[in-house]
Structure 1
């Protein structure tokens, strides 16, 4: 039963993470004004929190799941998936830093609007993150089906 609950929670967190990332990508397609910058910063906070929870539940699955630690330790697909997850997390720092900077600027000037170059850069990074998440899904499927080569 523990394995089922952890797997279900893991999947729900994945869907939440992807939903927030897609929402960021959609909001970044249009004009980013002060209100949109606030929304993006809030979404990004949720995205970060969800990513941390997802990692925590993933660790619990390693420790208490049915497949056991040994399955993951010797699974190259798992190592590739976790490596890409960490890389995506590091990459997500770029939009987060921008959103934090925008939030500070909004406190000083409620009419602040981020530059087009900033928005374009953040949009590009979020799209790369979405592509990386798609690859993570492929690696997860390979991991579940092929324990090793």
Structure 2
């Protein structure tokens, strides 16, 4: 019981950190005009990546690791599919910004000036990812209340 509670608490806290981090990164990318802006963007990106790893690990353990209702419950829960669909979209959207930020980090380490022209595009992607994180939270709270399987309340 304690382990289930702790996994749930860490999972929920990771949503908060993920939301804060993606908002910080998006704001930084929107305002990015020079390499002076990059340390804050890289810091936010680290938070986004770390919180995403925690979310995925704790979510997988809760859904398929025997700590919660079990895979059979989740795989038949419509809101679980909404939540996982949002996660897949977030991950697909993350490919371009992740690759760019990796290139930017390498350029900065080499002492080069990275091409920041696409920063506004990555900020728009971050805005969509923010919406999808909120969709995941809404789906999760619906599942916690039994909405979806039997029509809910």
TM-score band (shorter)? 0.7 to 0.9
- Distance between the aligned counterparts of 2:114 and 2:24, measured in 1? 19
What runs of 5+ residues in structure 2 fail to find an aligned partner? Answer: none
Match of 2:106 in 1: 104
Root-mean-square deviation (CA), in Å?
A: 1.9
- Distance between the aligned counterparts of 2:32 and 2:95, measured in 1? 22
User: By how many angstroms is 1:138 displaced?
Assistant: 1.9
Does the 8 Å contact 1:20/1:47 carry over to 2?
yes
User: By how many angstroms is 1:23 displaced?
Assistant: 0.8
User: By how many angstroms is 1:42 displaced?
Assistant: 3.4
Does the 8 Å contact 1:3/1:64 carry over to 2?
no
Match of 2:83 in 1: 81
Match of 2:53 in 1: 52
User: By how many angstroms is 1:107 displaced?
Assistant: 2.8
Where 1:80 maps in the other structure, the secondary structure is helix
User: By how many angstroms is 1:113 displaced?
Assistant: 5.3
Between stretches 33-42 and 53-62, larger displacement belongs to 33-42
Cα 1:99–1:67 change in 2 (3 A) is same
Match of 1:140 in 2: 140
What runs of 5+ residues in structure 1 fail to find an aligned partner? Answer: none
TM-score by structure 1 length? Answer: 0.86
- Distance between the aligned counterparts of 1:8 and 1:138, measured in 2? 16
TM-score by structure 2 length? Answer: 0.84
User: By how many angstroms is 1:147 displaced?
Assistant: 4.4
- Distance between the aligned counterparts of 1:64 and 1:32, measured in 2? 48
1:59-92: CA deviations, max 9, x gaps? Answer: 1112233433332121011012112112201211
Does the 8 Å contact 2:93/2:125 carry over to 1?
yes
1:93-127: CA deviations, max 9, x gaps? Answer: 211111111122223335x25333x1111111111
Aligned length: 147
Cα 1:48–1:31 change in 2 (3 A) is closer
